[in-house]
Amino acid sequence: MIELEHVNFAYEDQPILKDISIKLGEEGQNVIGLIGQNGSGKSTMFLNLVGILQPTSGAIRIDGNTYQYDKKSLNELRQKVGIVFQDSEQQLFYSIVKDDVAFALHNLGLPEDEIVRRVREVLTQLDILQLKDRPIQYLSGGQKKRVAIAGILALHSEWLLLDEPTAGLDPDGTRRMIDLIEGLSKNGQKILISSHDMDFMYEIGDYFYLLQKGEIVRQGTSETVFADDEILKQCCLDQPWLMQLHQKLGLPLYSSKAQLFTDEQLITRLATLK
Amino acid sequence: MLSIDKYAYNNLLAKWRPEVKGLLWLFGMIIAFQPIMVIKLIAIPTVAIATMWAVKVNFHQYLKWFYAVIPFIALSIIGIAVTLAPRADQVYGGIYMFGNYLGVAKSMLPLAEQLTLRITTAIVCTYWFALTTPFQQIILLFKHMHFPSLLIEETLLMYRFIFIFVDSFEQIYRAQQLRFGYANLRLSMHSAGILVKMLFEQVIINYQKMVYSLDAKLFTGEFTVQEDKI
C-alpha cells in the first residue's frame, strides 16, 4: 500500500500539489484512476510517487516505510513501483524491441537465462512476441506504447503507474489497452492510471481520485465520483456516457459497454417502442 | 524518415553472419586502396549490381543514394585537378587570368582519376555493407571485435535518436513551409534560424524526460549489448 500524508509539492514557489492525504491500494482496489484536466498535477504526483521528485513537505510511505531518497532506497522503490510515461519515444533507448525490454533487467544484474525468460514472458503477455526483432523506429504508436509497458512490466513490480496510457492511441489501441489492464489486474497487478479519458477510466477503474488544481476534490468508486456532474464540470471534465445514460435517460447504471449491449431486458423493452 | 535504413532489415543478405559481411567489406576496402586500376573497374559494377540485387532496388534508386555524397567527391576532385599554372600547355582548357592559366592540371589528372576510382570503390562497397547489414548486427560485430563499450553505446544511442531528431526536424520544417516560412531567401534564413532554435529547445526538454525514464529503468551507467538469445 502507498500512503501519502499531507503531501505538498511546489515548483519554484508555485504550489502544484496541495495537502494530499490518500491511501492507494486498499482491499479491492486494483485499478486506481487519477482523473483531472491537463495541468491539474497528475504527472507531478506520479513523479513524486516514484521518487523522482521529492515532496516539499509531508511524507509518502510504501508498505509502512517512509520514502528515502538515497540511491539504494530509490533503487528498491523503483523495483516496487514501475512507471510508464506518456511519451513512448523518450523511454525506448535501444533500436530493437527485445533489447529495450531487457534493458531494466540488465540494470538489475539478473542472470542471463532469467532475463531471456522474463522478456519472452512479458512479450507474450502483451501479445507482441512477433515484434521482438523489429526496429523500434518502424513501430506504430500503439506498438511503441506496448514495448514501453513491457520494459517496465518485466521488472515484476508490485505497482504499475501508467501516465495517460490512451493518449494518441487509435480506437483499436485503446481497446487493446483496456484488455491489457484488465488482464494485468486479474493477475493481481496493482495499477495506478492518470487520465482525462473519462469513458476509458469509467470502464476499467475500481476506485478514483479527482484532482483539481493540485487538490483531491473527490474520491470513491465510479458511482460516487462520476455521479456528480457539477463537480466534473468544475474540473473541466465530462461525465462518462454510460453515467449520462443512467442519469439523463433513466437506464440502469452499466459498468461497461458490453454489459449495456447484452442486457436482454433492455433490448426487449426497446423493441416494443418500434 | 531515413528510409535507407529499412533496406538493411529486409534484404536477401540480412540473415548472413555479420562477420562474413564485415570481412567482405574489408576485402572491398583492400581493393579500393590497392594500386591496380582494372580490379577497381571490375569491382565497382560487380558490387553495385550485387547491391541492387540483394536490396531489390532499380538502378535509378541506387543512383539517388549517391546524390548525398557526390558534392563532397566533386569538391575534393576539383580541388586536386583544377589549378592555376604559369604556362598554357600545363593545363587542359586553360583560361587566362592574373597572368596564369586556370584549368585542369595535366600532371594532376592521373592522380584525380585514381582518387575518383578509389573513392567510388570504397563508397560502393560501404553502401553494400550498410544496405545489407541490420544495425543490430553491426553492433554485435563491434562487440566481437572488442571495440570500447563507450563507442558501442554512443553508436547505439545515436542510431536510436537520430530518427527522433529527423522526425522533429521534418515536423517543424513542414509546419513552417505550410505557413510560407520559406517563400523567399530572407524568410528562409529567418525560418531556418527558428528551426535550429526549436530543435535545440526540444533536445533539452527531451533530455529531461529521458533522464526520468532512465531512472525508472534503474539505469546503472551502462547500456548492455547482448547476443541474440531471446
Structure confidence by residue, pLDDT tens digits, A25-66: 888 899 999 999 998 999 999 999 999 999 999 999 999 999
Q: Mean pLDDT, to the nearest integer, of A215-244?
A: 91
Chain A CB contacts of B219 under 8 Å are: 107
Cross-chain Cβ contact A93/B6 below 8 Å: no
**Per-residue pLDDT tens over the stretch B25-58:** 999 999 999 888 899 999 999 999 999 999 888 8
pLDDT at B172: 92
Nearest to A128 by CA among A112, A116, A115, A144: A144
Given a contact cutoff of 8 angstroms between Cβ atoms, the answer to whether A242 and A202 are in contact is yes
Q: Does A107 touch chain B (CB under 8 A)?
A: yes
**Shortest Cα–Cα distance, A192 to chain B (Å):** 15
b/e per residue, B50-77, with b = 16+ CB within 10 A?
bbbebbebeeeebeebeeeeeeeeeeeb
Tell me if chain A has a CB within 8 Å of the CB of B23: no
Q: Which three cell numbers stand for residue B112?
A: 584525380
In chain B, what are the domain boundaries?
Answer: 3-139, 148-216
Which residue shows C-alpha cell 584549368? B103
Q: Residue A138: its chain B contacts at CB < 8 A?
A: 6
Which DSSP state fits B1? -
pLDDT at B1 over 60: no
Q: Are B27 and A159 in contact (CB under 8 A)?
A: no
Is A78 touching B (CB cutoff 8 A)? yes
Distance from CA of B3 to the nearest CA of A (A): 10
Rounded CA-CA distance B223/A202 in Å is 40
Query: In 3-state terms, what secondary structure has residue A35?
Result: strand
Strands (E), chain B: 82-85, 91-97, 100-105
pTM of the entire predicted model: 0.81
Question: Which pLDDT belongs to residue B227?
Answer: 67
Q: Which residues pair with A4 in a beta bridge?
A: A22, A60
* pLDDT at residue B64 tops 50: yes
Dihedral in degrees, nearest 10, Cα atoms A147, A149, A154, A159 = 180
CB B214 within 8 A of CB A87: no
Give, for A60, the enclosing helix (H) or strand (E).
strand A57-62
Looking at the complex, does the CB of residue A135 fall below 8 Å from at least one CB of chain B? Answer: yes
Cβ–Cβ contact B214 with A under 8 A: yes
pLDDT-derived band at B166 (thresholds 50, 70, 90) equals confident
- Give the chain A residue whose CA is nearest to the CA of B222: A107
With CB atoms and an 8 Å threshold, state whether B229 touches A50: no
> Which cell numbers in the block locate residue A163?
501516465
Nearest Cα of chain B lies from the Cα of A220 at a distance, in angstroms, of: 29
The partner residue sitting opposite B218, judged by closest CB among A78, A91, A137, is A78
Q: Is the pLDDT of residue B135 over 80?
A: yes
Nearest CA to CA, how far is B142 from chain A (Å)? 16
User: Taking a C-beta distance cutoff of 8 angstroms, is the pair A94, A133 a contact?
Assistant: no
Closest by CA to A146, choosing from A132, A158, A156, A157, is A132
Indicate the average pLDDT of chain A. Answer: 91
Contact predicate B181/B192, CB 8 Å? no
pLDDT at B25: 93
Q: What is the percentage of chain A residues whose pLDDT exceeds 70? A: 100
Instruction: Output the pLDDT for position B83.
Output: 83
Yes or no, beta carbons of A78 and B5 under 8 Å apart: no
d(CA A92, CA A148): 7
State the average pLDDT over residues B77-91.
Answer: 82
Let me know: does A47 contact B212? Beta carbons within 8 Å.
yes
Q: Spell out which residues of chain A touch residue B164, defining contact as CB-CB under 8 Å.
A: 89, 137
Q: Using DSSP, how many helices (H) and how many strands (E) does chain B show?
A: 9, 3
Pick the closest to residue A241 from A196, A195, A200 (CA basis): A200
Q: Name the strand (E) or helix (H) holding A84.
A: strand A81-84
Q: At which residue does the C-alpha cell 536477401 appear?
A: B12
Taking the C-alpha atoms of residue A44 and residue A30, their distance in angstroms, rounded to an integer, is 21
What digits encode the pLDDT tens for the residues B171-213?
Answer: 999 999 988 889 899 999 999 999 999 999 988 888 888 889 8
**Nearest residue, CB atoms, A89 vs list B6, B164, B225:** B164
By CA distance, what is A150's nearest residue in B? Answer: B217
- B226 lies within 8 A of chain A by CB: yes
Residue in chain A lying closest to B137 (CA):
A96
Residue A101 contacts residue A148 (beta carbons within 8 Å):
no
CA distance, residue A249 to nearest chain B CA (Å): 45
User: Is the CB of B138 inside 8 Å of chain A's CB atoms?
Assistant: no
Do A93 and B229 lie within an 8 Å CB cutoff?
Answer: no
Q: Which amino acid is at B71?
A: P
Q: Does the beta-carbon distance from A75 to B218 stay under 8 Å?
A: yes
Q: How many CA atoms lie within 13 A of A216 on its CB side?
A: 19
Instruction: Find the radius of gyration of the CA atoms of chain A.
Output: 20
Is B224–A103 a contact, with Cβ atoms under 8 angstroms apart?
yes
Inter-CA distances, B123 with A100, B7, B20, B99, Å: 32, 17, 19, 39
pLDDT mean across residues, chain B:
87
> Hey, what domains does chain A have and what are their CATH numbers?
2-239 (3.40.50.300), 240-274 (no CATH)
How many angstroms separate the CA atoms of A2 and A64, rounded? 8
In this structure, the number of other CB atoms found within 10 A of the CB of residue B81 comes to: 21
- Residue type (1 letter), B36: I
A50 vs chain B: nearest CA distance in angstroms? Answer: 8
pLDDT of residue A173 exceeding 90: no
Q: Does B227 touch chain A (CB under 8 A)?
A: no
Q: Establish if A93 touches chain B: CB-CB under 8 angstroms.
A: yes
Partners of A135 in beta bridges: A96
Question: Which among A127, A119, A63 is positioned nearest to A96, based on CA atoms?
Answer: A119
The cell numbers describing B228, all together, are 541474440
Residue B184, H or E segment: none
The answer to whether the Cβ–Cβ distance between A91 and B223 falls below 8 Å is no
Q: Could you give the CA distance from residue B142 to residue A202 in angstroms, rounded to a whole number?
A: 50
Average pLDDT over residues A64-74: 92
Strand bridging mode B91-97 / B100-105: antiparallel
Q: Could you tell me which of A207, A251, A179 has the C-alpha nearest to residue A241?
A: A251
Query: Sorting pLDDT into bands at 50, 70 and 90, what band is B109?
Result: confident
